[in-house]
Amino acid sequence: MEFATRLSNVEESATFKYSSLAKKEGIINLTIGRTNFTTPRLITRAAVSALENGRVHYTPTRGIPELREMLAKKLKRENNIPDIGPDNILVSAGAKQIIFEAVMALIGKGDKVAMPNPSWVSYEQIVNLAEGEIIWLPLKHENDFIPDEEFLSALENSSPKLIMLNSPNNPTGAVYPEKIIREIVDIAERKDCWLLFDEIYEKIIYEGKHFSAGSIYPKTITVNGFSKEFSMTGWRLGYCACPNPDLIEKMNLIQSQTVSCATSFVQYGALAAFKEEVAEERDRMITELKERRDRFVKGMNGLFETKVNPAGAFYLFPHLGDIDDLAMADKLLSNGVGLIPGSPFGSQGKGCLRISYGAVSLDEIDVALERIKATLA
């Protein structure tokens, strides 16, 4: 059977693949791209009430007006993004679908997309699906995977139509400082290219501050979602904002011919997300995640070539030296620890492991550390 050529370069999500391998009795699962907290009750109640009140039909393709209105206000209040009203917002079935729609709307065969090396696995595969061409911008473990001079000059010497960035970062946990984001925006502005800025972990920060590129650059597509901050990965709800209504229109065109709209009662549930009580619950989650990070970081000291202490998300991305990370991930799995090798995130992830502490207890972290030590010995 012959399949479309656009699929010839597209691979299965490595994170989903390794996650399914780690779902076995006795394995400490450090592969998961989510937390083990539950969705705040207020949101669940609002969704149940919407279901019971007959909110079970198609919604406008862009999302219900109340939610878009609320998100526009949130982006102005919390992210200082100007010129955003409900018509500049698109709501969809997860941030991944939003990213897919943005890439599909902007990138055709051979169009260039610049992204950090390493990056979240789906960026590369979505660009491959659009038959775009990737320009890799190298990051270094010695520099905690924060963009440096080499990264900036690789960007300066390229001509992308789109730059894709993510902070706080998956897989590295790095939080990009405002100064660096301003330098990247400066280059984007001179080259007049689009910037997709993925802020899905924006609230999961332990040190430092989040800075939204959309606050200073109008050609930014600010991407966010409910999956991580509100523990809603299975609800499938994400959104983006862009001052350019034409881009939102084109993305909406793709949406109208694919998923049609995000699930109706999920959107109504999300209307409860920006309440004080929910923010308090989220802050308790972040305090617990920080405890887990600190426990891991302390236990890992001296284990790996580099010290890691990332400031955000719920990932660690230690560099183990000149080793085969794929073989090491297999070895660790057979010793009871599931995690994701660094290579699928880009060539600069070679020799690294991506560890998620989003869904494990402190006791499990201790056991995982013992097993990792024994495997490396």
Ligand X SMILES: Cc1ncc(COP(=O)(O)O)c(C=O)c1O
Among 18, 120, 145, 314, the residue binding ligand X under the rule CB under 6 A is: 120
Q: In angstroms, rounded to a whole number, what is the distance separating the alpha carbons of residues 151 and 336?
A: 37
User: Is residue 91 within a helix (H) or strand (E), and if so which, with residue range?
Assistant: strand 89-92
- In the complex, the smallest distance separating the C-beta of residue 230 from ligand X, rounded to whole angstroms, is 11
Q: Which residue has the tokens 């887990």?
A: 292
Residue placing its CB nearer to ligand X in the complex, 14 or 248: 14
Q: In angstroms, rounded to a whole number, what is the distance separating the alpha carbons of residues 266 and 44?
A: 9
DSSP-based three-state secondary structure for 356: strand
- 233 contacts ligand X (rule: CB under 6 A): yes
Task: Count the residues in the chain.
Answer: 377
- 200 contacts ligand X (rule: CB under 6 A): yes
Q: Give, as ranges, the residues between 202 and 231 that touch ligand X (CB under 6 A).
A: 225, 227
User: Is residue 288 within a helix (H) or strand (E), and if so which, with residue range?
Assistant: helix 276-300
Residue placing its CB nearer to ligand X in the complex, 227 or 264: 227
- 344 contacts ligand X (rule: CB under 6 A): no
- What SS3 string covers 163-183? EEEECCCCCCCCCCCHHHHHH
| Angle between helical axes of 276-300 and 41-52 (0-180°, round to 10) | 130
Q: Which residues contact 341 (CB under 8 A, 6 or more apart)?
A: 14, 18, 325, 326, 328, 329, 349, 352, 353, 354
Residue placing its CB nearer to ligand X in the complex, 259 or 367: 259
- In the complex, the smallest distance separating the C-beta of residue 76 from ligand X, rounded to whole angstroms, is 22
Residue placing its CB nearer to ligand X in the complex, 173 or 318: 173
Residue placing its CB nearer to ligand X in the complex, 120 or 296: 120
- 357 contacts ligand X (rule: CB under 6 A): no
Q: Give, as ranges, the residues between 290 and 319 that touch ligand X (CB under 6 A).
A: none
Residue placing its CB nearer to ligand X in the complex, 31 or 336: 31
Tokens of 151: 């990264």
Q: Which residues contact 251 (CB under 8 A, 6 or more apart)?
A: 90, 98, 101, 102, 104, 105, 240
Residue nearest to ligand X (CB): 94
Q: Where does this chain touch ligand X (CB under 6 A) — which range of 44-52, 64-72, 91-99, 339-347?
A: 91-99
Q: Give, as ranges, the residues between 31 and 70 that touch ligand X (CB under 6 A).
A: 33
Residue placing its CB nearer to ligand X in the complex, 13 or 375: 13
- 125 contacts ligand X (rule: CB under 6 A): no
- In the complex, the smallest distance separating the C-beta of residue 116 from ligand X, rounded to whole angstroms, is 11
Please report the sign of the dihedral spanned by the C-alpha atoms of residue 42, residue 224, residue 87, residue 252.
negative
- In the complex, the smallest distance separating the C-beta of residue 26 from ligand X, rounded to whole angstroms, is 25
Question: What is the contact surface with ligand X in residues (CB under 6 A)?
Answer: 33, 94-96, 120, 166, 170, 198, 200, 225, 227, 233, 238
